[in-house]
Amino acid sequence: MGLEEKIEGAQAIVGVIGLGYVGLPLARVFALANFRTRGFDIDPAKVEKLNRGESYLKTVPAERVRQIRKLGTFEATTDFSRLAECDAIIICVPTPLTPTRDPDLSFVVDSVRAVGRNLRKGQLVVLESTTYPGTTDEVAKPILEETGLVCGKDFFLAFSPEREDPGNRDFHTTIIPKVVGGGDEASGRLAQKLYGKVIEKIVPVSSAKVAEAAKILENVYRCINIALVNELKMVFDRMGIDVWEVIAAAGTKPFGFQAFYPGPGLGGHCIPIDPFYLSWKAREYGCHARFIELAGEINTGMPHYVIGKLTEALNSKGKAVQGSRVLVLGIAYKKDIDDLRESPALELLELLGGMGAEVLYNDPYLPSTPRTRRHDLGLKSQELTPKLLRGVDCVLIATDHSAYDWEKICADAPLIVDTRNATKDVATAKGKVWKA
């Protein structure tokens, strides 16, 4: 039976490498569609949890994992030699930046090499990790062809960018349109057919490069517009104008305007990182992506701006940052999720600690601060009580989780620095809230 027939009859075995915020939801939808699905991850703890029917992601509750385990269509493993069992392999691993803000493709390369060691004729390989245009053709394809197998003839290769938005209740994996571009016509057709079995709408494009570029454009668009409102926030603050009120007023225009909102910096895996993949690649062609670099400069500087506003707020009470007790509310990169990837709150905690403040935090979804590539804070979430709020010198709102009762927080906290406009509807907050 050929690969196309296997896909059509849901007989293909699907392997997903990387069981994080992208890979786990994707593996789940294939398992729900009765495809035998193998999830691959280098973390044994994650694999053990999944095989027990447990979860480590708030966005994929345990009952959803138990559902596919009960169906018998999903199994997680750390044994990458089992990639040989799979008819289709989808790579969903991180693509971070190096300390010098260059692309770090080590996770992608390691995954592709693992696939190459187990590659056989008739397999389809799809890269979903966001990267610069050309990665599929220039990085993945040569590694796989080191086996002596030929792309488009012996195996098939495509790119389909992930579009997950953790915590978004309106859009989930199966209903978000899927862009698919093949390294060749046959590869594109097979990848479209595979995703078409689990995703409602497939958007075919002419090549893997176009698919890679489309994802970069989506993230660059958001990065630049967020940088714009972050810059306007600083300008309007000097003018005594509330940027949040300005955005609300501009948002009443029914055409030609889309609201973006300022914050303490950029978080998540996509927007703070992916645009720099394009600006790096552009230099190979003699181009300087000035908008991307400027947006990055503004956005990465926002934590320092917030610290400046917090310093002003404490000074207004005759206090210095050094020696003050500062409680940070919310350390996830956005509300109502447990995702810490590139969260600016981690940098805020680090900056405050470096200035001599006693730093505390509360986050209902993150009981402790795990070690990341750039941060190792070793903090635990404090119970949010009136006693805690009254016992600190300042509360810094970094993430506006819906679980927070802003009325009570504003009533008990002596001083608040609000980066999210969370306290806007609290009448009693006047006089004690600084916007940042």
Q: Is 417 exposed, middle or buried (0-12, 13-18, 19+ CB in 10 A)?
A: buried
In a domain, 400, yes or no: yes
Residue 417's SS3 state is strand
Average pLDDT value for residue range 360-377: 86
**Model confidence pLDDT, tens digit, residues 162-212:** 998 887 888 889 999 999 999 999 999 999 999 999 999 999 999 999 999
In a domain, 332, yes or no: yes
pLDDT score of 427: 76
pLDDT score of 34: 97
pLDDT score of 272: 84
Among residues of the chain, what percentage have pLDDT more than 70? 100
Which of 26, 95, 123, 153 lies closest to 341, judged by CA? 95
Domain boundary (205, 229, 246) is at 205
Is the pLDDT reported for residue 382 higher than 80?
Answer: yes
Least confident of 31-35, 40-44, 99-103, 289-293: 99-103
Which of 347, 243, 361, 245 lies closest to 304, judged by CA? 347
Average pLDDT value for residue range 291-299: 93
**Model confidence pLDDT, tens digit, residues 72-121:** 999 999 999 999 999 999 999 999 988 888 899 999 999 999 999 999 99
List, in order, residues 6 or more apart from 263 with CB less than 8 Å away.
226, 230, 302, 344, 419, 420
Average pLDDT value for residue range 244-272: 92
208-239 vs 243-250: helix axis angle to the nearest 10? Answer: 120
Instruction: Note down the domain range covering 322.
Output: 301-435
Which of 46, 43, 38, 134 lies closest to 88, judged by CA? 38
Which of 324, 344, 323, 325 lies closest to 333, judged by CA? 344
Confidence grade of residue 376 (pLDDT, cut at 50, 70, 90) = confident
pLDDT score of 328: 98
Domain co-membership, 28 together with 175: yes
Domain boundary (205, 238, 253) is at 205
In a domain, 292, yes or no: no
| Confidence (pTM) | 0.92
In a domain, 264, yes or no: no
In a domain, 284, yes or no: no
Is the pLDDT reported for residue 71 higher than 80?
Answer: yes
Which of 300, 147, 126, 164 lies closest to 230, judged by CA? 300
**Model confidence pLDDT, tens digit, residues 296-325:** 999 999 999 999 999 999 999 999 999 999
pLDDT score of 431: 77
In a domain, 185, yes or no: yes
Q: What is the DSSP letter of 382?
A: P
In a domain, 388, yes or no: yes
Average pLDDT value for residue range 325-334: 96
pLDDT score of 164: 86
Domain co-membership, 15 together with 131: yes
**Model confidence pLDDT, tens digit, residues 117-140:** 999 999 999 999 999 999 999 999
φ and ψ of 278, to 5 deg: -70, -45
SS3 for 216-268 is HHHHHHHHHHHHHHHHHHHHHHHHCCCHHHHHHHHCCCCCCCCCCCCCCCCCC
Residues involved in catalysis: 270
H helical segments located in 324-363: 344-354
Count how many domains the chain has: 2
pLDDT score of 373: 66
Q: Which residue has the higher pLDDT, 100 or 22?
A: 22
Domain boundary (181, 205, 229) is at 205
Is the pLDDT reported for residue 429 higher than 80?
Answer: no
Mean pLDDT for the chain?
95
Residue 351's SS3 state is helix
**Residue 43 CA to chain centroid, in angstroms?**
19
Domain co-membership, 20 together with 155: yes
In a domain, 9, yes or no: yes
CATH number of the domain that residue 427 is part of = 3.40.50.720
Domain co-membership, 198 together with 70: yes
Average pLDDT value for residue range 140-168: 95
Least confident of 257-261, 272-276, 419-423: 272-276
Q: Which residues of 284-303 are buried (b: 16+ CB within 10 A; e: fewer)?
A: eeeeebeebeebbebbbebb
Q: Which residue has the higher pLDDT, 166 or 329?
A: 329
Among residues of the chain, what percentage have pLDDT more than 90? 89
Is the pLDDT reported for residue 430 higher than 80?
Answer: no
Is the pLDDT reported for residue 51 higher than 90?
Answer: yes
